[in-house]
Structure 1
Amino acid sequence: MRVLIAAQENAWGGMIQQLRETLPDVEFVASAEQAGKSLAGFDALIPTMTQVSEPLLQTADRLKLIQQSGAGLERVDIAAARARGIAVANVPTDISGNADSVAELAIWMMLGLARKASEVPQMLADRRLGQPIGLGLKGKTVGLVGLGGIGKALAQRLAAFEMRTIGVKRSVDAEFARRHRLDWLGTMEQLPQLLAESDFVVLSLPDNPETHHIIDEPALAKMKPGSFLINVGRGGLIEKGALLAALDSGQLAGAGLDVFWQEPPDPQDVLFRHNVIATPHIGGVTDISISGIVAGVCENLRRLRDGEAILNDQS
């Protein structure tokens, strides 16, 4: 069985080598360039961030499975795959350890922004003690936009900081809100209220027609002056020009970004002149999450090889 991985050999923290070690009888070919051109000769595709369109699927001559290495399938034309009898599966964040790792990164960004981490090197260089004066997290409000695996993992951890957590998701469930200790839970129509109340807003949504640019100029204007925006979902959730303007004006005190409009981002981008904590899409790149993802991916590849039902089939 041949599997095409849309990534370079050294990508994703050594995950590709772990796939080979787990399934030594499977041939893994790592090539982002190949994955964007032709799927001919492959039984399965691990698309990562590659766009899997209908024209690309037309090049497949024996493809039976598109197996995402994480949860996000917004770049895959699932309907076109289904029409060709190709299963489309993912590894849900809440079973792989990915959600836990992303939640930890989001909290690290919150702490860094609150304690003005960008100013610390200069304080040390100037031998100034007791500065900068930061913000404590206790008693602050966090607005969780999206309450899937990552949002739930965040809610669980933020309770230990004695923060007030509020959230919006597609549907309201009082029991869900109680279980995850949310002060209130609303639908996406209540996003303006969440933005107005939050000291920190954390995005953990997929990028689709309903969520693309959900944070635009009007949304940013509704945010509490001096608040912080953190995005561990997808870059397309935020309108870049509006974010830059909000940082310029001081409407936002800072931002934490693990995802970008263009990946990898340009290191000379004017965005990085602002109070921004940026990481190169590493929210889910930890020993725990990679181990969980490898286990999930390999289980479905084994099932494909052995003719068993695919898990987490989204097609």
Structure 2
Amino acid sequence: MRVLIAADENAWGGLIPAIRQTLPDMEFIASAGHAAESLAGFDALIPGMCRVDARLIATADRLKLVQQAGVGLEGVDLDAAKHAGIMVANVPSDDSGNADSVAELGIWMMIGLARRQHEIADCLAQQRLGQPIGLGLMGKTVGLVGLGGIGKALAKRLAPFGMRMIGVKREADEAFARQHQLDWVGNMAQLPELLQQADFVVLSLPDNAATHNIINADALAQMKPDSFLINLGRGGLIEKQAFLAALETKKLAGAGLDVFWQEPPHPQDPVFSYNVIATPHIGGVTDVSMKGIIKGICDNLRRLRDGEAVIDRKA
């Protein structure tokens, strides 16, 4: 069985060699540049950040499965895959430990922004003790935009910090709010109310027609002065020029970004000139999540090889 992995050989922190070691009887081909030109001759595809559109799907002559290495399937044309009889599956973040790892990164970003990490090196260099004066998280309000696996993992970890938590998702849910210790959970129409109240806004949504540029100039204008924005979802959730303008005018006090409009981002991107904690899409790259992701991928590839039912994609 031949599997195409649309990523460089050394991508994803050693994930590819680990998959090869787990399934030594399969042939895994890594492509360059997070892209794929043709699916001919392959039984399965692990797309990563590669866009799997109708044109690419049309090149498949025996492909049976598109198996994502994480949750995100927004880059896969699901209708075209279904029409071609190709199954599509992901590794849900709740099952893999991915959500837990991403949530930990988000909290690290919150603490770094609150403690003005961009000033700390200068204070040490200038021997200024007791500076900078940071913000405590206790008593602050965090707005969770998206309450899937990552949002729930964030709520679980933020509750002991003594933060007030509010959230929005597709539908308002009082029972969910009580279960996860949020003051309230509204639908997406209540996003302006969340933005007006939150000191920290954390995004953990997919990028699709309903969420693309959900944080635009109007949304940024509704945010509290000196608030922080953290994006753990996808770069396309934020309208870039409006975001840069909010940082330039200090409407936003700072931001945390693990995802970008172009990945990998250009080293000279102007976003890096502001108070931004940036990481190269590593939220789900930990020993815990990698172990879970490898298991999820390899379990389905084994099922495909052995003629068993593949565990199909989950919402």
Question: Which TM bucket (shorter chain)?
Answer: over 0.9
Shift of 1:313: 3.0
* Other-structure match for 2:215: 215
Shift of 1:31: 0.5
In structure 1, distance between residues paired with 2:259 and 2:33 = 21
In structure 2, distance between residues paired with 1:160 and 1:305 = 45
In structure 2, distance between residues paired with 1:267 and 1:9 = 22
Deviations 1:189-223 (A, max 9, x none): 00000000000000000000100000000000000
264-273 or 115-124, which deviates more: 264-273
* Other-structure match for 1:235: 235
* Unpaired segments ≥5 residues, structure 2: none
Counterparts of 1:237-256 in structure 2, within 5 Å, are: 237-256=237-256
* Other-structure match for 1:175: 175
In structure 2, distance between residues paired with 1:38 and 1:232 = 31
Deviations 1:244-265 (A, max 9, x none): 1101111100000000001111
Shift of 1:314: 5.2
1:49 to 2:11 alignment: no
Which one-letter code corresponds to 1:209 in the other structure? A
Shift of 1:33: 5.3
Aligned-pair identity (%): 70
Shift of 1:176: 1.0
* Other-structure match for 2:279: 279
- Asked if the contact 2:9/2:32 (under 8 Å) is kept, the reply is no
* Other-structure match for 1:6: 6
In structure 2, distance between residues paired with 1:263 and 1:49 = 8
* Other-structure match for 1:129: 129
* Other-structure match for 1:70: 70
Q: CA 1:314 to 1:133, structure 2 compared with 1: closer, same or farther past 3 Å? A: closer
- Asked if the contact 1:88/1:314 (under 8 Å) is kept, the reply is no
Counterparts of 1:250-269 in structure 2, within 5 Å, are: 250-269=250-269
TM-score by length of 2: 0.98
* Other-structure match for 1:24: 24
Deviations 1:137-187 (A, max 9, x none): 000000000000000000000001010000000012221111110001100
Deviations 1:20-70 (A, max 9, x none): 111110111011459521000000000000000111111000000000000
Deviations 1:53-109 (A, max 9, x none): 111111000000000000000000011000111000000001100000000000000
* Other-structure match for 2:200: 200
In structure 2, distance between residues paired with 1:51 and 1:70 = 14
1:226 to 2:222 alignment: no
In structure 1, distance between residues paired with 2:117 and 2:266 = 22
- Asked if the contact 2:144/2:202 (under 8 Å) is kept, the reply is yes
- Asked if the contact 1:91/1:312 (under 8 Å) is kept, the reply is no
In structure 1, distance between residues paired with 2:273 and 2:239 = 17
Counterparts of 1:138-149 in structure 2, within 5 Å, are: 138-149=138-149
Shift of 1:299: 0.2
In structure 1, distance between residues paired with 2:312 and 2:103 = 22
In structure 1, distance between residues paired with 2:130 and 2:13 = 37
In structure 1, distance between residues paired with 2:189 and 2:82 = 32
Q: May I ask how many residue pairs the two structures share in their alignment?
A: 315
Q: CA 1:34 to 1:166, structure 2 compared with 1: closer, same or farther past 3 Å? A: closer
- Asked if the contact 1:4/1:35 (under 8 Å) is kept, the reply is no
In structure 1, distance between residues paired with 2:118 and 2:33 = 37
Shift of 1:266: 1.1
Which one-letter code corresponds to 1:233 in the other structure? G
Give the match's secondary structure for 2:158.
Answer: helix
Shift of 1:267: 1.1
In structure 2, distance between residues paired with 1:185 and 1:309 = 37
RMSD over equivalenced CA pairs, Å:
1.1
